[in-house]
Amino acid sequence: RVREAVVSTQSTGPRMVDMKEKLAEFWKEEASVAQPKKHTLQPIVTGTSVLGIVCTDGVVIAADTLGSYGSLARFRDITRLMKVNNSTIIGGFGDYADFQFIMKLLEQQTIDDDVVGDGVYRDAPSIHNWLRCVLYNRRSRMNPLWNTIVVAGRDFSGKPYLGYVDKIGVSFTEKSVATGFGSYIAQPMMRRAMEENPNMTVEEGKKLMERCLKVLFYRDCRSLNRYQIGVVTATDNSISEPMSAATDWSIGANPSGYE
């Protein structure tokens, strides 16, 4: 009997495991089990308005540092502006987790450009078009990134550039853009300032942003008086440290008729 067992083992040999078959069986079993699609149905932690304006010598972009958990002012020190490279800064409105995902994608794009080492980089129009494709692709798969992105920077010729793209891939360029509640309150302020001062400089644009953000803090319950301002010029591409605007709530006693 022992001899027969040895002969049987030698004749058949050890059975090789086919990993392709195992994987096919695994995915067949997974497909047979009904599972719900795991898509983001609504934003959770969100950021409000992002503002941008084109000046004669560059572009100014601004956003506050609040991440709202519903109506709760939960995270007061988040960064919604990102320096992509030496020519571009982006600002994110909407779900902050999705914006972090977009920032990781752009960081990897920048790393890939540096690794190639040919001196070629993506300018602001290139990044704007790439973001449009990414957001439209996710929307087409019925799993959108719940963000509106403002792209501020320069093109290869050095000309100031300001672009807008939302979660379904709608994109355009304009002299001034605003997202969220800022499109109702800050955008008219920026347009009026540009009409009164067509040759606005970056320094004047920064003061205008501070004024718009202060008004938004008074009017938008999802905003904060702590903000950052980004500047892209021929010689500078930087994002400021968080700053706080001085506010005066004594004016709250003036409006009447809402009791």
Catalytic residue among 9, 12, 40, 201: 40
Other CB atoms within a 10 A radius of the CB of residue 137 amount to 13
Cα–Cα nearest to 87, from 156, 190, 172 = 156
Q: How many CB atoms lie within 10 A of CB 77?
A: 10
Q: What's the CA gap between 142 and 40, in Å, rounded? A: 10
- Report how far Cα 255 is from the mean position of its chain's Cα atoms: 36
Told to judge if 40 belongs to the known catalytic residues of this protein, a careful annotator would answer yes
Start-end of H helices in 70-181: 96-116, 124-140
User: For 140, which DSSP code?
Assistant: H
Nearest partner of 89 among 229, 220, 191, 193, judged by Cα: 229
Tell me how far apart the alpha carbons of residues 213 and 242 are, in angstroms, rounded to a whole number.
13
SS3 200: coil
Give the residue numbers annotated as catalytic, written as ranges.
40
